[in-house]
């Protein structure tokens, strides 16, 4: 019996690297999540402005057109999206970037290359049903 698509959490993946986005999609779909993928900041901005919020956003920092810091600001500025957990992914491994992401409104920050099981544990932490 297939789960009801209305009850399956949706994860918005905003990632411009095709290989990483395919890995994320595979990992998340194997865990039973629906995945919506945007390949650049402009597409993500449009999606945020016109779509219902997902259960979680996995957001790359360095994106074409609009960077991840600006995207997380857009998410936090929209009433319907404000409380969506945002996990930012970046190849940058500096305290300054971590602080900037968290100050921008990110819920968490994961450094690439990420460990798949650690990333999934973080995703599960934010998508756990509230009691």
Q: What tokens does 107 get? A: 């819920």
36 φ/ψ sector (left φ>0, alpha ψ -120 to 50, else beta) = beta
Mean pLDDT of 106-128: 93
Least Cα distance to 68 among 110, 27, 28 occurs for: 110
pLDDT tens by residue, 2-52: 555 568 999 999 999 999 999 999 999 999 999 999 999 999 999 999 999
Least Cα distance to 13 among 79, 62, 86, 104 occurs for: 86
CATH topology of domain 5-126: Rossmann fold (3.40.50)
Residue with more model confidence, 96 or 45: 45
CA angle 27, 76, 106 (to 5 degrees): 50
pLDDT at 131 over 50: no
């Amino acid at each position: 019996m297939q789960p009801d698509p209305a009850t399956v959490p949706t994860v918005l993946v905003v990632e411009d690297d095709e290989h990483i986005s395919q890995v994320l999609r595979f990992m998340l779909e194997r865990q039973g999540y629906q995945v919506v993928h945007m390949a650049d900041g402009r597409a993500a901005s449009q999606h945020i402005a016109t779509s219902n919020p997902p259960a979680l956003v996995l957001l790359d920092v360095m994106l074409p057109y609009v960077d991840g810091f600006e995207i997380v600001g857009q998410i936090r500025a929209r009433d319907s999206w404000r409380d969506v957990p945002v996990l930012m992914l970046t190849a940058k491994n500096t305290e300054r970037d971590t602080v900037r992401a968290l100050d921008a409104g990110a819920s968490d920050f994961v450094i690439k290359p990420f460990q798949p099981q650690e990333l999934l544990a973080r995703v599960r932490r934010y998508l756990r049903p509230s009691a």
